C-alpha cells in the first residue's frame, strides 16, 4: 500500500501557487520541470534524473522518478505524488498525462534539450508542447528569510574554514594542497559540500579569474587569490580574498586598494530600485578612473541561492530595465588582473533589504589584514 501523503508545507504550497498562476496567465495546462534545483525548490526532493509535472491548477504536482529515489522521496518530500518509472521518461510522462486533460504543456525552454523535446513530441501525440519561460529563475531570485539564513550559515562555515586555512598555509605548499584543506574544513564544519571547485591561485596564476589549483608552490612573498564557497542545505555562499605571505609588492598594493574601494563603493550603492547596470558601473567607473579599466573584464556580481550563479546579474549586460529588489542576494566582486603579474578580486555576499542592504559576509579585507 502506498504511504499516506502528508499535507504540503505552506512554503512549498505558496511557491507552487506563484508558478501555477503564471502557467494560467500563459494559457498552459501544465509544466514539466526538469532542473534538479527547481524540483528541490518546489518539492524538497534533492535527487536528480527526475522530472516534476506541475498542473496549472490544484495540488497535483507529480514527481517522475525511478526506484533509486523511492525511499529518498518519501523522506524528503512525503507530501508529493510520485510515479516510479520503469521505462523511458517520455513514456512515463505520456502515461501520467494520458489520464489528465492537458492540451498545452509548457517546457522550460532554457532546460529541455532538443533530444528530450523530440522524444516527448513522439510520446505525447495530441498535446501541444510550448517552449516557455517558467519564471522560476526570477521567482528564486527573491529569497525568503529561511533561505537567507541558510546562505548566512553557509557563509559562516566558509569563513571559519578560511581562517583555519590562514593558520595552516605555509611557504612550500601547493595551491592544490591549500584548496584540499579548505574544502575538507568546510565539510567538517557542516557544509553539504562546496558551492563550486575552490580557486587557490598563486602569483601569476591569480591573473586568471578562474584558475584551477595545481602544483604551483606558494612562496614567501607570494600573492594568493582564494575564491571559495560552502553549501548549507543546498544554499551557496561565495567569497574571494587575496592574501600575501609576508609582504605585497607596491604595484599589487595599489591594485588592492583600487579594487577594495571599488567594491566598497558598489556595496554602498545597493538598495531596492537601483538598476543592476548602475551598481556594476559604480565599481567600473572607480577602476577606470585609476587606469585599470581594461583589466576588469567580467561583471561585478551575480545572484546566488540554490545555484551558485543565479539572477540577478550585476553586469553591463544585465537587462536595461532590471533593478534590485528586496530579497535579492548578490555577490559584489570587482577584480583587476595583470597578466604575468597577479590579480586581485574581493568578493562578499549582500542581501537587498526593504530599505538598503545587509552584507552577509564579514571577513576582514583591509590591506593590512591581507598580509599574513
Ligand atoms: Mn562569485
* Per-residue pLDDT reduced to its tens digit, 106-153: 999 999 999 999 999 999 999 999 999 999 999 999 999 999 999 999
Contact 116, 34 (CB under 8 A): yes
- C-alpha 118 to ligand 1 mean position (Å): 36
> Looking at the predicted structure, is the pLDDT value of residue 5 above 90?
no
- C-alpha 77 to ligand 1 mean position (Å): 31
- C-alpha 139 to ligand 1 mean position (Å): 20
pTM: 0.96
Fold matches, 10-140 and 142-370: no
Quote the Cα angle for 117-58-137, to 5°.
Answer: 50
Contact 196, 204 (CB under 8 A): no
Rg (CA), the chain: 23
State in Å, rounded, how far the first CA of the chain is from the last one.
63
**Average of pLDDT values for 216-238?**
98
- C-alpha 347 to ligand 1 mean position (Å): 7
- C-alpha 2 to ligand 1 mean position (Å): 44
Query: pLDDT value at position 59?
Result: 82
- C-alpha 91 to ligand 1 mean position (Å): 40
- Over residues 81-102, the pLDDT tens digits come to 999 999 999 999 999 999 888 9
Domain 142-370 fold is: Creatine Amidinohydrolase (3.90.230)
DSSP state of 214: -
Tell me the pLDDT of the chain averaged across its residues. 97
What distance separates the 2 farthest-apart alpha carbons in the chain?
72
User: What nine digits make up the cell of 89?
Assistant: 521518461
Please report, for the chain, the start and end positions of each structural domain, with discontinuous segments joined by +: 10-140, 142-370
- C-alpha 331 to ligand 1 mean position (Å): 6
> Looking at the predicted structure, is the pLDDT value of residue 4 above 90?
no
> Looking at the predicted structure, is the pLDDT value of residue 29 above 60?
yes
- Over residues 44-72, the pLDDT tens digits come to 999 999 999 999 998 889 999 999 999 99
10-140: CATH class: alpha beta
Return the half-sphere exposure (C-beta side, CA atoms, 13 A cut-off) of residue 35. Answer: 18
- C-alpha 93 to ligand 1 mean position (Å): 37
- C-alpha 227 to ligand 1 mean position (Å): 8
Query: pLDDT value at position 13?
Result: 95
- 10 Å CB burial of residue 57 (0-12, 13-18, 19+) is exposed
Beta strands (DSSP E) in the chain are 30-33, 51-55, 62-65, 81-84, 104-108, 128-132, 193-194, 199-202, 223-228, 230-232, 235-236, 239-244, 301-303, 310-314, 329-332, 335-338, 342-345, 348-352, 357-359
- Over residues 280-339, the pLDDT tens digits come to 999 999 999 999 999 999 999 999 999 999 999 999 999 999 999 999 999 999 999 999
- C-alpha 225 to ligand 1 mean position (Å): 13
- C-alpha 222 to ligand 1 mean position (Å): 23
- C-alpha 237 to ligand 1 mean position (Å): 8
- C-alpha 63 to ligand 1 mean position (Å): 32
Whole-angstrom distance, CA of residue 207 vs CA of residue 204: 6
- C-alpha 301 to ligand 1 mean position (Å): 6
- C-alpha 195 to ligand 1 mean position (Å): 10
Amino acid at each position: 500500500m502506498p504511504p499516506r501523503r502528508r499535507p504540503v508545507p505552506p512554503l512549498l504550497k505558496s511557491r507552487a501557487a506563484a508558478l501555477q498562476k503564471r502557467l494560467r496567465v500563459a494559457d498552459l495546462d501544465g509544466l514539466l520541470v526538469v532542473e534538479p534545483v527547481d524540483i528541490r525548490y518546489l518539492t524538497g526532493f534533492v535527487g536528480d534524473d527526475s522530472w516534476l509535472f506541475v498542473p496549472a491548477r490544484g495540488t497535483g504536482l507529480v514527481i517522475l522518478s525511478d526506484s533509486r529515489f523511492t525511499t529518498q522521496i518519501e523522506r524528503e518530500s512525503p507530501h508529493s505524488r510520485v510515479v516510479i518509472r520503469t521505462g523511458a521518461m517520455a513514456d512515463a510522462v505520456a502515461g501520467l498525462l494520458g489520464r489528465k486533460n492537458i492540451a498545452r504543456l509548457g517546457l522550460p525552454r532554457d532546460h529541455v534539450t532538443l533530444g528530450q523535446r523530440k522524444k516527448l513530441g513522439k510520446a505525447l501525440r495530441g498535446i501541444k508542447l510550448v517552449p516557455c519561460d517558467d519564471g522560476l529563475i526570477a521567482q528564486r531570485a527573491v529569497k525568503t528569510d529561511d533561505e537567507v539564513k541558510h546562505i548566512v550559515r553557509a557563509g559562516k562555515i566558509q569563513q571559519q574554514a578560511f581562517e583555519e586555512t590562514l593558520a595552516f598555509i605555509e611557504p612550500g605548499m601547493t595551491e592544490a594542497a591549500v584548496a584540499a584543506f579548505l574544502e575538507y574544513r568546510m565539510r567538517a564544519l557542516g557544509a553539504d559540500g562546496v558551492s563550486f571547485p575552490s580557486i587557490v591561485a598563486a602569483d601569476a596564476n591569480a591573473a586568471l579569474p578562474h584558475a584551477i589549483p595545481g602544483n604551483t608552490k606558494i612562496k614567501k612573498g607570494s600573492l594568493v587569490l582564494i575564491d571559495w564557497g560552502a553549501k548549507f542545505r543546498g544554499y551557496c555562499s561565495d567569497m574571494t580574498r587575496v592574501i600575501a605571505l609576508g609582504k605585497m609588492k607596491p604595484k599589487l598594493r595599489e591594485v588592492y586598494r583600487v579594487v577594495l574601494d571599488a567594491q566598497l563603493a558598489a556595496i554602498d550603492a545597493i538598495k531596492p530600485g537601483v538598476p543592476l547596470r548602475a551598481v556594476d558601473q559604480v565599481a567600473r567607473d572607480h577602476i577606470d578612473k585609476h587606469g585599470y579599466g581594461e583589466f576588469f573584464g567580467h561583471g561585478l556580481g551575480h545572484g546566488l541561492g540554490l545555484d551558485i550563479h543565479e539572477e540577478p546579474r550585476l553586469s553591463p549586460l544585465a537587462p536595461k530595465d532590471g533593478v534590485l529588489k528586496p530579497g535579492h542576494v548578490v555577490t559584489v566582486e570587482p577584480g583587476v588582473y595583470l597578466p604575468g603579474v597577479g590579480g586581485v578580486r574581493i568578493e562578499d555576499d549582500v542581501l537587498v533589504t526593504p530599505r538598503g542592504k545587509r552584507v552577509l559576509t564579514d571577513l576582514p579585507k583591509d590591506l593590512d589584514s591581507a598580509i599574513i
